[in-house]
Amino acid sequence: MITSDSLRQAPRELRPLHVPRPSTGQLRLRPSLRGNGFVVGSVEANGPDTVGFANRDRVAWRDDSTELPDLLLKSQDDVLGVPSWITDQQVVDYLGPGLVARALMRSSHPVGRGDDVRVISTDALVSSMATAWARHLGAHIVEQGPALVLEHSARGRVFPQAHGRLAQAAVDVFQAIRAGMFDDIDADQSRAVTAA
């Protein structure tokens, strides 16, 4: 119940807040969570000539490891839309390693049903995700013998550079999450194993 006493508050000191105005093709973003090479947040404002984004849309962008302000400006070409059925935590846990796993699936020879596959990675989360993805595609995971070897090292982590390619790769990762491919993977456990 709201009473007159509950409406009385001590005066607060107001401080000016500099809010950058987006220019042509830019979005003003409010970050909410970061991890595994990506930041997730929401669109606060659109500049002129932005296409495909609206206020309060959830988005993700590559983390440049700098301190994140409350609001920042990014080109719309550097931002990926995040579907409503993906949580912020899933984005930071799975998008970066999922992009690497997806690249492994499409490396020199695409993985298919019945293929014998061996996944080798210095990153436990990438290894778990690539293994789950290969199994989902119908491959048999083997530890030795003749097999298609999907090999990755953390040094070689390269994300697609063209925005269209990155956006399509991200859609594939989001669809994999939606299909439940990574449901049995504990991202925290995989990180702890990698850090040990």
46, part of any domain: yes
The answer on 169 and 149 residing in a single domain is yes
16, part of any domain: no
Q: Residue 193: what pLDDT?
A: 41
Please say which residue of 59, 81, 103 terminates a domain: 81
What is the CA angle 188-189-192, rounded to 5? 90
Tokens of 112: 């298919």
Half-sphere exposure of residue 78, counting CA atoms within 13 Å on the CB side?
15
Q: Residue 155: what pLDDT?
A: 57
Neighbours of 65 (CB within 10 A): 9
The answer on 66 and 140 residing in a single domain is no
Q: Residue 195: what pLDDT?
A: 38
Q: Residue 42: what pLDDT?
A: 95
7, part of any domain: no
Q: Residue 123: what pLDDT?
A: 83
pTM: 0.76
Q: Residue 137: what pLDDT?
A: 85
Spans in the chain with pLDDT lower than 50: 1-4, 6-7, 157, 160, 192-196
14, part of any domain: no
Containing domain of residue 56, as a range? Answer: 26-81
Residue owning tokens 């970061």:
34
Q: Residue 7: what pLDDT?
A: 46
Q: Residue 37: what pLDDT?
A: 86
The answer on 102 and 169 residing in a single domain is yes
Q: Residue 6: what pLDDT?
A: 44
